[in-house]
Amino acid sequence: MKRGQFVRLFISDTSTAIWVIAAAKEMTLHISSQVEDSTTKDTTGDWVENEVTATSYDIQTNALVLSDDDTLYKDGTSSIAFGLEEAENWLDDRVLYWTINNVSGANNRVKGSLICKGQCKATSVSISAQNKQNATYSVTFNGYGVMSLTD
């Protein structure tokens, strides 16, 4: 069984999802199917028959709002963390790349084996700042195309 802190969302605007969500609190991947009623006069009894016509997914994550003094995690040459500023900048029509991976290492930021991956578009960003609580932001990414469980 994997604990939540060992499963992280990585995202990027290039074909390789390289940025871990900085200071993440939680992440949810939701997959759903749209169905169409295919019940006919030949259907037995009062049961409805459905056919799947489309599958969709979205990813929701929330994280702490980092101050300017907080350091986004560096690999020596570039930032490898995704924060509020990037989330706000990606609320346009661009396609983003994401992976959900097992993680290890210092502060659980070293990408390990792949759990799933795909493409998405950022569709909403919100900030929550309650009195005497840590400020957090939430981002929703809607799936774009196929989600894969392998490389």
Tens-digit pLDDT profile for residues 52-66: 999 999 999 888 776
| Residue 57 falls inside a structural domain | yes
The pTM (predicted TM-score) of the whole model is 0.77
Q: Three-class SS of residue 94? A: coil
* C-alpha span between 143 and 64 (Å, rounded): 23
Domain with 105, as residue range(s), is 9-32+53-143
Q: Name the β-bridge partners of 85.
A: none
pLDDT at 66: 67
Of residues 117 and 129, more confidently modeled? 117
- Answer whether residue 73 shows pLDDT above 50: no
Backbone Cα Rg of the chain: 19
Tens-digit pLDDT profile for residues 13-68: 777 767 777 778 899 999 999 999 999 988 888 889 999 999 999 999 888 776 65
Residue 77 has pLDDT above 50, yes or no: no
Confidence of residue 87 (pLDDT cuts 50, 70, 90): low
Q: Say if 101 falls within a structural domain.
A: yes
Contacts of 107 (CB under 8 A, 6+ apart): 73
In this prediction, what percent of the chain has a pLDDT beyond 90? 26
Q: How many domains does the chain have?
A: 1
Residue 40 in domain? no
pLDDT for residue 150 is more than 60: yes
In a domain, 3, yes or no: no
In a domain, 123, yes or no: yes
**43 lies in a domain?**
no
pLDDT mean over 73-102: 67
- Residue 2 lies inside a defined structural domain of this protein: no
- Does 4 map to a domain? no
